[in-house]
Amino acid sequence: MHVSILVERERGPAAAIKQPTPSSSSSAFKHWKWWFMVVINILFLLVGQTSAMLLGRFYYDQGGNSKWMATLVQTAAFPILFILLYLFPSPPNTSPTPIAKISLIYIALGLIIAGDNLMYSYGLLYLPASTYALVCATQLAFNAIFSYYLNSQKFTPLIFNSVVLLTFSAALLGVDEQSDGSTDISKGKYALGFILTVGASAAYSLILSLMQLTFQKVQKRENFSVALEMQLYTALVATCGSVVGLFASGEWKGLKGEMDGFQKGKVAYVMTLVWTGVSWQVASVGVVGLIFVVSSLFSNVISTLAFPVVPVFAVIFFHDKMDGVKVMAMLIAIWGFVSYIYQQYLDDSKEKKAIGSIEEDSDLIDSRRD
Protein backbone atom coordinates (compact mmCIF):
# COMPACT_ATOMS: atom_id res chain seq x y z
CA MET A 1 0.00 0.00 0.00
CA HIS A 2 1.36 3.40 -0.94
CA VAL A 3 0.43 6.58 0.90
CA SER A 4 1.97 9.22 -1.34
CA ILE A 5 -1.48 10.77 -1.78
CA LEU A 6 -1.74 11.12 1.99
CA VAL A 7 1.64 12.83 2.14
CA GLU A 8 0.70 15.26 -0.61
CA ARG A 9 -2.67 16.01 1.02
CA GLU A 10 -1.14 16.82 4.38
CA ARG A 11 1.76 18.86 3.06
CA GLY A 12 -0.15 20.61 0.28
CA PRO A 13 0.45 21.04 -3.46
CA ALA A 14 3.77 22.80 -2.88
CA ALA A 15 5.21 19.67 -1.32
CA ALA A 16 3.86 17.56 -4.16
CA ILE A 17 5.86 19.64 -6.69
CA LYS A 18 9.05 18.48 -5.04
CA GLN A 19 8.21 14.85 -5.75
CA PRO A 20 9.17 13.09 -9.01
CA THR A 21 6.42 13.64 -11.55
CA PRO A 22 4.41 10.42 -12.00
CA SER A 23 2.86 9.28 -15.25
CA SER A 24 -0.89 9.75 -15.64
CA SER A 25 -1.63 6.00 -15.49
CA SER A 26 0.61 5.47 -12.45
CA SER A 27 -0.90 8.43 -10.62
CA ALA A 28 -4.46 7.27 -11.36
CA PHE A 29 -3.66 3.73 -10.18
CA LYS A 30 -2.20 4.97 -6.88
CA HIS A 31 -5.17 7.28 -6.44
CA TRP A 32 -7.75 4.49 -6.85
CA LYS A 33 -5.66 2.11 -4.77
CA TRP A 34 -5.64 4.66 -1.94
CA TRP A 35 -9.41 5.13 -2.15
CA PHE A 36 -9.94 1.36 -2.25
CA MET A 37 -8.01 0.93 1.02
CA VAL A 38 -9.99 3.80 2.56
CA VAL A 39 -13.34 2.24 1.60
CA ILE A 40 -12.32 -1.22 2.87
CA ASN A 41 -11.22 0.19 6.22
CA ILE A 42 -14.42 2.25 6.49
CA LEU A 43 -16.49 -0.92 6.02
CA PHE A 44 -14.43 -2.78 8.64
CA LEU A 45 -14.94 0.03 11.12
CA LEU A 46 -18.67 0.60 10.55
CA VAL A 47 -19.70 -3.07 10.49
CA GLY A 48 -17.41 -4.09 13.36
CA GLN A 49 -18.24 -1.22 15.68
CA THR A 50 -22.01 -1.38 15.14
CA SER A 51 -22.07 -5.15 15.73
CA ALA A 52 -19.82 -4.93 18.80
CA MET A 53 -21.87 -2.22 20.48
CA LEU A 54 -25.15 -4.06 19.93
CA LEU A 55 -23.70 -7.37 21.17
CA GLY A 56 -22.27 -5.60 24.21
CA ARG A 57 -25.70 -4.23 25.08
CA PHE A 58 -27.20 -7.70 24.47
CA TYR A 59 -24.70 -9.19 26.95
CA TYR A 60 -25.91 -6.87 29.71
CA ASP A 61 -29.59 -7.20 28.83
CA GLN A 62 -29.53 -10.99 28.99
CA GLY A 63 -27.95 -11.21 32.44
CA GLY A 64 -24.25 -10.41 31.97
CA ASN A 65 -22.88 -8.12 34.65
CA SER A 66 -19.07 -8.39 34.64
CA LYS A 67 -17.51 -5.09 33.64
CA TRP A 68 -14.08 -6.68 33.38
CA MET A 69 -15.35 -9.45 31.11
CA ALA A 70 -16.96 -6.84 28.88
CA THR A 71 -13.61 -5.04 28.90
CA LEU A 72 -11.62 -8.20 28.16
CA VAL A 73 -13.59 -9.19 25.07
CA GLN A 74 -12.86 -5.84 23.44
CA THR A 75 -9.27 -6.94 22.81
CA ALA A 76 -9.11 -10.68 23.59
CA ALA A 77 -9.72 -11.75 19.97
CA PHE A 78 -6.46 -10.14 18.83
CA PRO A 79 -4.91 -13.50 17.69
CA ILE A 80 -7.10 -13.39 14.55
CA LEU A 81 -4.94 -10.46 13.42
CA PHE A 82 -2.09 -12.92 12.82
CA ILE A 83 -4.07 -14.14 9.79
CA LEU A 84 -4.05 -10.66 8.27
CA LEU A 85 -0.40 -10.20 9.24
CA TYR A 86 0.38 -13.41 7.33
CA LEU A 87 -1.53 -12.14 4.29
CA PHE A 88 0.21 -8.72 4.47
CA PRO A 89 3.78 -9.55 5.56
CA SER A 90 6.07 -6.72 6.52
CA PRO A 91 8.80 -6.00 3.95
CA PRO A 92 12.44 -5.73 5.10
CA ASN A 93 12.93 -2.63 7.22
CA THR A 94 15.94 -0.64 6.05
CA SER A 95 15.84 1.57 9.16
CA PRO A 96 14.64 -0.65 12.03
CA THR A 97 12.93 0.95 15.02
CA PRO A 98 14.69 0.32 18.37
CA ILE A 99 12.93 -2.62 20.04
CA ALA A 100 12.97 -1.05 23.51
CA LYS A 101 11.46 2.21 22.27
CA ILE A 102 8.58 0.67 20.32
CA SER A 103 7.93 -1.84 23.12
CA LEU A 104 7.47 0.96 25.65
CA ILE A 105 5.08 2.70 23.28
CA TYR A 106 3.03 -0.48 22.81
CA ILE A 107 2.90 -1.13 26.57
CA ALA A 108 1.82 2.45 27.36
CA LEU A 109 -0.84 2.48 24.64
CA GLY A 110 -2.06 -0.99 25.62
CA LEU A 111 -2.58 0.01 29.26
CA ILE A 112 -4.41 3.18 28.25
CA ILE A 113 -6.62 1.09 25.94
CA ALA A 114 -7.45 -1.30 28.82
CA GLY A 115 -8.52 1.58 31.05
CA ASP A 116 -10.45 3.17 28.21
CA ASN A 117 -12.30 -0.08 27.50
CA LEU A 118 -13.23 -0.39 31.18
CA MET A 119 -14.81 3.07 31.16
CA TYR A 120 -16.72 2.17 28.00
CA SER A 121 -17.95 -1.03 29.70
CA TYR A 122 -19.38 0.95 32.62
CA GLY A 123 -20.97 3.42 30.22
CA LEU A 124 -22.68 0.68 28.23
CA LEU A 125 -23.94 -0.91 31.46
CA TYR A 126 -25.52 2.27 32.84
CA LEU A 127 -26.76 3.85 29.60
CA PRO A 128 -29.25 2.60 26.99
CA ALA A 129 -27.52 1.54 23.76
CA SER A 130 -28.96 4.45 21.79
CA THR A 131 -27.85 7.08 24.31
CA TYR A 132 -24.45 5.45 24.78
CA ALA A 133 -23.79 5.48 21.04
CA LEU A 134 -24.63 9.14 20.59
CA VAL A 135 -22.74 10.31 23.70
CA CYS A 136 -19.66 8.61 22.23
CA ALA A 137 -19.82 11.20 19.44
CA THR A 138 -18.04 13.61 21.81
CA GLN A 139 -14.83 11.76 20.95
CA LEU A 140 -14.62 13.74 17.73
CA ALA A 141 -14.35 17.05 19.59
CA PHE A 142 -11.58 15.65 21.80
CA ASN A 143 -9.81 14.20 18.79
CA ALA A 144 -9.94 17.58 17.05
CA ILE A 145 -8.04 19.11 19.97
CA PHE A 146 -5.46 16.31 20.20
CA SER A 147 -4.98 16.23 16.42
CA TYR A 148 -4.33 19.96 16.36
CA TYR A 149 -1.60 19.83 19.02
CA LEU A 150 -0.09 16.37 18.40
CA ASN A 151 -0.59 15.77 14.66
CA SER A 152 -0.60 19.31 13.22
CA GLN A 153 -4.11 18.80 11.85
CA LYS A 154 -5.33 21.77 9.85
CA PHE A 155 -8.81 23.07 10.53
CA THR A 156 -11.19 24.50 7.97
CA PRO A 157 -14.64 25.98 8.57
CA LEU A 158 -16.22 22.70 7.40
CA ILE A 159 -14.17 20.57 9.79
CA PHE A 160 -14.90 22.95 12.65
CA ASN A 161 -18.59 22.81 11.75
CA SER A 162 -18.46 19.00 11.79
CA VAL A 163 -16.84 18.87 15.23
CA VAL A 164 -19.32 21.34 16.73
CA LEU A 165 -22.37 19.57 15.31
CA LEU A 166 -21.29 16.08 16.41
CA THR A 167 -20.46 17.34 19.89
CA PHE A 168 -23.78 19.17 20.15
CA SER A 169 -25.54 15.98 19.07
CA ALA A 170 -24.14 14.15 22.10
CA ALA A 171 -24.78 17.08 24.45
CA LEU A 172 -28.48 16.96 23.61
CA LEU A 173 -28.71 13.51 25.12
CA GLY A 174 -26.63 14.37 28.15
CA VAL A 175 -29.08 17.02 29.29
CA ASP A 176 -32.15 14.95 28.50
CA GLU A 177 -31.81 11.70 30.44
CA GLN A 178 -35.59 11.38 30.63
CA SER A 179 -35.66 10.74 26.90
CA ASP A 180 -34.49 7.20 27.57
CA GLY A 181 -37.44 6.15 29.67
CA SER A 182 -35.00 4.09 31.79
CA THR A 183 -36.82 3.53 35.04
CA ASP A 184 -34.44 0.74 36.06
CA ILE A 185 -31.39 3.02 36.01
CA SER A 186 -30.94 5.40 38.92
CA LYS A 187 -29.98 9.02 38.29
CA GLY A 188 -26.67 8.42 40.02
CA LYS A 189 -25.77 5.49 37.77
CA TYR A 190 -26.98 7.35 34.71
CA ALA A 191 -24.76 10.33 35.58
CA LEU A 192 -21.80 8.02 36.27
CA GLY A 193 -22.33 6.21 32.97
CA PHE A 194 -22.53 9.51 31.12
CA ILE A 195 -19.35 10.89 32.73
CA LEU A 196 -17.38 7.67 32.18
CA THR A 197 -18.48 7.48 28.56
CA VAL A 198 -17.35 11.06 27.93
CA GLY A 199 -14.06 10.27 29.71
CA ALA A 200 -13.62 7.13 27.63
CA SER A 201 -14.25 9.16 24.48
CA ALA A 202 -11.49 11.59 25.46
CA ALA A 203 -9.07 8.74 26.19
CA TYR A 204 -9.96 7.03 22.91
CA SER A 205 -9.25 10.22 20.98
CA LEU A 206 -5.88 10.57 22.71
CA ILE A 207 -5.05 6.98 21.75
CA LEU A 208 -5.81 7.64 18.08
CA SER A 209 -3.63 10.76 18.00
CA LEU A 210 -0.78 8.97 19.77
CA MET A 211 -0.99 6.13 17.25
CA GLN A 212 -0.77 8.57 14.36
CA LEU A 213 2.16 10.29 16.05
CA THR A 214 3.89 6.92 16.39
CA PHE A 215 3.39 6.20 12.68
CA GLN A 216 4.78 9.61 11.74
CA LYS A 217 7.70 9.98 14.17
CA VAL A 218 8.73 6.46 15.20
CA GLN A 219 7.72 3.80 12.67
CA LYS A 220 8.25 5.84 9.50
CA ARG A 221 7.24 2.90 7.29
CA GLU A 222 4.59 2.84 4.57
CA ASN A 223 2.92 -0.58 4.66
CA PHE A 224 -0.28 -2.00 6.10
CA SER A 225 1.55 -4.55 8.25
CA VAL A 226 2.78 -1.66 10.43
CA ALA A 227 -0.83 -0.78 11.24
CA LEU A 228 -1.63 -4.43 11.98
CA GLU A 229 1.38 -4.77 14.28
CA MET A 230 0.32 -1.66 16.16
CA GLN A 231 -3.18 -3.06 16.74
CA LEU A 232 -1.94 -6.58 17.57
CA TYR A 233 0.65 -5.73 20.19
CA THR A 234 -1.33 -2.99 21.92
CA ALA A 235 -4.29 -5.38 22.08
CA LEU A 236 -2.03 -8.03 23.63
CA VAL A 237 -1.00 -5.63 26.40
CA ALA A 238 -4.59 -4.45 26.92
CA THR A 239 -5.79 -8.07 27.15
CA CYS A 240 -3.18 -8.91 29.77
CA GLY A 241 -4.20 -5.84 31.77
CA SER A 242 -7.87 -6.83 31.54
CA VAL A 243 -7.14 -10.38 32.73
CA VAL A 244 -5.30 -8.97 35.75
CA GLY A 245 -8.27 -6.69 36.47
CA LEU A 246 -10.73 -9.57 36.10
CA PHE A 247 -8.95 -11.66 38.74
CA ALA A 248 -7.95 -8.76 41.01
CA SER A 249 -11.56 -7.53 41.19
CA GLY A 250 -12.86 -11.01 42.03
CA GLU A 251 -15.40 -10.87 39.18
CA TRP A 252 -14.03 -14.14 37.78
CA LYS A 253 -15.73 -15.98 40.67
CA GLY A 254 -19.17 -15.04 39.38
CA LEU A 255 -18.64 -15.95 35.72
CA LYS A 256 -20.00 -19.50 36.05
CA GLY A 257 -23.16 -18.25 37.73
CA GLU A 258 -23.43 -15.53 35.10
CA MET A 259 -23.27 -18.15 32.34
CA ASP A 260 -25.83 -20.37 34.05
CA GLY A 261 -28.21 -17.45 34.51
CA PHE A 262 -27.86 -16.06 30.99
CA GLN A 263 -31.42 -15.81 29.66
CA LYS A 264 -30.64 -17.18 26.20
CA GLY A 265 -28.58 -20.11 27.52
CA LYS A 266 -24.93 -21.06 27.95
CA VAL A 267 -24.19 -21.43 24.25
CA ALA A 268 -25.61 -17.96 23.55
CA TYR A 269 -23.49 -16.58 26.41
CA VAL A 270 -20.27 -17.95 24.93
CA MET A 271 -21.14 -16.97 21.37
CA THR A 272 -22.08 -13.45 22.46
CA LEU A 273 -18.65 -12.98 24.01
CA VAL A 274 -16.84 -14.58 21.07
CA TRP A 275 -18.57 -12.52 18.40
CA THR A 276 -18.27 -9.35 20.45
CA GLY A 277 -14.51 -9.93 20.55
CA VAL A 278 -14.32 -10.65 16.82
CA SER A 279 -16.42 -7.58 16.01
CA TRP A 280 -14.18 -5.31 18.04
CA GLN A 281 -11.08 -6.61 16.25
CA VAL A 282 -12.69 -6.05 12.85
CA ALA A 283 -13.52 -2.50 13.93
CA SER A 284 -10.00 -1.98 15.30
CA VAL A 285 -8.41 -2.97 11.99
CA GLY A 286 -10.56 -0.32 10.32
CA VAL A 287 -9.66 2.27 12.96
CA VAL A 288 -5.90 1.76 12.73
CA GLY A 289 -6.03 1.37 8.96
CA LEU A 290 -7.74 4.73 8.54
CA ILE A 291 -5.25 6.38 10.90
CA PHE A 292 -2.45 5.02 8.73
CA VAL A 293 -3.83 5.93 5.30
CA VAL A 294 -5.56 9.20 6.23
CA SER A 295 -5.48 10.59 9.78
CA SER A 296 -6.70 10.00 13.32
CA LEU A 297 -9.37 12.70 12.89
CA PHE A 298 -10.77 11.06 9.76
CA SER A 299 -10.79 7.67 11.51
CA ASN A 300 -12.74 9.23 14.35
CA VAL A 301 -15.23 10.85 11.97
CA ILE A 302 -16.00 7.46 10.40
CA SER A 303 -16.29 5.94 13.87
CA THR A 304 -18.75 8.68 14.78
CA LEU A 305 -20.82 7.88 11.69
CA ALA A 306 -21.70 4.51 13.25
CA PHE A 307 -23.22 6.14 16.34
CA PRO A 308 -26.38 7.47 14.63
CA VAL A 309 -26.85 4.00 13.11
CA VAL A 310 -26.76 2.15 16.45
CA PRO A 311 -29.90 3.84 17.89
CA VAL A 312 -31.94 2.59 14.93
CA PHE A 313 -30.93 -1.01 15.62
CA ALA A 314 -31.32 -0.43 19.38
CA VAL A 315 -34.96 0.52 18.84
CA ILE A 316 -35.51 -2.62 16.74
CA PHE A 317 -33.69 -5.16 18.94
CA PHE A 318 -33.79 -3.66 22.44
CA HIS A 319 -36.95 -1.55 22.17
CA ASP A 320 -35.15 1.64 23.21
CA LYS A 321 -37.35 4.70 23.06
CA MET A 322 -36.74 6.87 19.99
CA ASP A 323 -38.21 10.28 20.77
CA GLY A 324 -37.78 13.68 19.18
CA VAL A 325 -34.55 14.47 21.02
CA LYS A 326 -32.82 11.34 19.74
CA VAL A 327 -34.08 11.89 16.21
CA MET A 328 -32.76 15.46 16.30
CA ALA A 329 -29.42 14.28 17.73
CA MET A 330 -29.12 11.66 15.00
CA LEU A 331 -29.87 14.15 12.22
CA ILE A 332 -27.36 16.64 13.60
CA ALA A 333 -24.72 13.89 13.80
CA ILE A 334 -25.34 12.92 10.16
CA TRP A 335 -25.13 16.59 9.15
CA GLY A 336 -21.79 16.88 10.92
CA PHE A 337 -20.46 13.78 9.17
CA VAL A 338 -21.53 15.00 5.74
CA SER A 339 -19.82 18.32 6.45
CA TYR A 340 -16.50 16.56 7.07
CA ILE A 341 -16.85 14.27 4.03
CA TYR A 342 -17.51 17.32 1.84
CA GLN A 343 -14.25 18.80 3.07
CA GLN A 344 -12.48 15.57 2.04
CA TYR A 345 -14.08 15.89 -1.39
CA LEU A 346 -12.84 19.47 -1.75
CA ASP A 347 -9.32 18.44 -0.70
CA ASP A 348 -9.35 15.58 -3.18
CA SER A 349 -10.50 17.84 -6.02
CA LYS A 350 -7.80 20.36 -5.18
CA GLU A 351 -5.19 17.63 -5.14
CA LYS A 352 -6.25 16.33 -8.55
CA LYS A 353 -5.95 19.82 -10.03
CA ALA A 354 -2.50 20.25 -8.51
CA ILE A 355 -1.28 16.93 -9.91
CA GLY A 356 -2.81 17.73 -13.31
CA SER A 357 -1.04 21.10 -13.35
CA ILE A 358 2.29 19.46 -12.51
CA GLU A 359 1.86 16.92 -15.30
CA GLU A 360 0.98 19.64 -17.83
CA ASP A 361 4.09 21.65 -16.86
CA SER A 362 6.21 18.52 -17.16
CA ASP A 363 4.82 17.73 -20.63
CA LEU A 364 5.43 21.34 -21.72
CA ILE A 365 9.05 21.18 -20.56
CA ASP A 366 9.58 17.87 -22.35
CA SER A 367 8.10 19.21 -25.58
CA ARG A 368 10.42 22.24 -25.47
CA ARG A 369 13.40 19.97 -24.98
CA ASP A 370 12.40 17.91 -27.99
Q: What is the pLDDT along the chain (370 residues), one digit of tens a residue?
A: 333 333 333 333 333 333 444 455 666 667 787 888 888 988 999 899 889 988 988 998 898 989 999 999 999 999 988 888 887 777 666 666 788 889 999 999 999 999 999 999 998 888 877 677 777 777 777 877 888 888 777 778 887 887 788 777 766 765 555 444 454 667 888 889 889 998 998 998 899 889 888 888 887 766 678 878 888 999 999 999 999 999 999 999 999 999 999 999 999 999 999 999 999 999 988 888 888 788 777 887 788 777 667 777 777 777 777 677 777 877 887 787 788 778 877 877 777 777 666 666 666 666 666 6
Give 313-318's long-range contacts (Cβ < 8 A, gap of 24+). 313/50, 313/54, 314/54, 314/57, 314/128, 314/129, 314/130, 314/133, 315/130, 317/54, 317/58, 318/57, 318/58, 318/61, 318/128, 318/129
Q: How far apart are alpha carbons 147 and 72 in whole angstroms?
A: 28
Give 82-91's long-range contacts (Cβ < 8 A, gap of 24+). 82/232, 84/228, 84/285, 85/225, 85/228, 85/229, 85/232, 88/223, 88/224, 88/225, 88/228, 89/225, 90/221, 90/223, 90/225, 90/226, 90/229, 91/223, 91/225
pLDDT digits (tens, 9 = 90+) for 280-311: 999 988 888 888 788 777 887 788 777 667 77
